[in-house]
């Protein structure tokens, strides 16, 4: 399983790449909204510059910000041309209010533009995205769980279940990842990215469920390394070494 860093913050991106443990970067308009205001492409160019300074091998996913198919294609082509980054992927949301965006995925992939088909929450969304040519299929892990329990969507849930469009497993995030992997593996080269990570444990569970990639908010990297038994072992190593060197120094005069 590979790790991507999920942020638009330039310092966080630089730190993650310097650490040597991430293989990519994902951004979205909500993450960008947390950063100081600037031109969209200008900010993306800064990210590209950081990625290139660390070898240029990191994948970078950036998102279009329109629902119009022609404008999606125009924006995607513009981003691809202006950023000119070999490992760029353009994020296209799988659908919105019933609008099928798979034709956009097909068009862009046919032009040789890598697509990250995002906002997937069911295995069939992931399969359809992969079949349309997506390089990455992004599953929103905790939004899958939210979909089964959030108030305000009772009627929608009931209609989807009673209409045999979804079943109970479609609200289990690990099941969605596993089933998506089973559906796409035999026939499509797409990789599954798990996003919407809200805890360190989500990272491990998503990977064990079959995610090729988990995209992680920067705040979870340090806790993922933390354990009191690791601290105890390292403290013991230092103590034992200090005791040994103290005895060695004292020995000649004994």
Q: What does the block give as tokens for 98?
A: 């019933």
DSSP secondary structure string, 151-212?
TT-HHHHHHHHHTTS--GGGG-HHHHHHHHHHHHTTT--PEEEEE---SHHHHHHHHHHT-S
Alpha carbon distance 19, 40 (integer Å) = 26
Instruction: State the catalytic residue, choosing from 34, 91, 204, 219.
Output: 91
Q: Which of 113, 117, 168, 173 is nearest to 143 (CA)?
A: 173
Size (the chain), residues: 254
Residue carrying structure tokens 């105890």: 232
Whether residue 91 lies in the annotated active site: yes
What positions carry a catalytic annotation?
91
């Amino acid at each position: 399983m590979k790790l991507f860093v999920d942020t638009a913050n330039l310092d966080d991106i630089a730190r993650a790449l310097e650490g040597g443990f991430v293989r990519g970067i994902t951004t979205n308009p909500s993450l960008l909204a947390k950063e100081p205001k600037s031109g969209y492409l200008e900010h993306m160019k800064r990210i590209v510059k950081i990625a290139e300074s660390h070898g240029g091998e990191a994948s970078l996913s950036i998102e279009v910000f329109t629902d119009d198919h022609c404008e999606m294609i125009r924006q995607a082509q513009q981003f691809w041309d202006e950023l000119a980054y070999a490992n760029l992927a353009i994020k296209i949301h799988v659908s919105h209010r019933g609008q099928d965006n798979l034709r956009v995925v097909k068009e862009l992939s046919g032009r040789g533009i890598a697509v990250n088909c995002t906002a997937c929450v069911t295995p069939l969304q992931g399969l359809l995205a992969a079949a349309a040519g997506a390089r990455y299929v992004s599953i929103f892990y905790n939004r899958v769980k939210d979909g089964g329990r959030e108030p305000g969507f009772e009627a929608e849930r009931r209609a989807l279940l009673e209409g045999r469009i979804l079943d109970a497993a479609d609200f289990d995030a690990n099941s969605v990842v596993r089933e998506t992997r089973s559906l796409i593996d035999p026939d499509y080269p797409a990789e599954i990215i798990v996003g919407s990570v809200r805890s360190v444990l989500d990272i491990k569970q998503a990977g064990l469920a079959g995610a090729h990639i988990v995209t992680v908010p920067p705040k979870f990297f340090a806790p993922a390394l933390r354990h009191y038994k690791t601290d105890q072992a390292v403290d013991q190593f230092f103590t034992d070494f200090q005791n040994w060197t103290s005895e060695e120094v004292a020995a000649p005069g004994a």
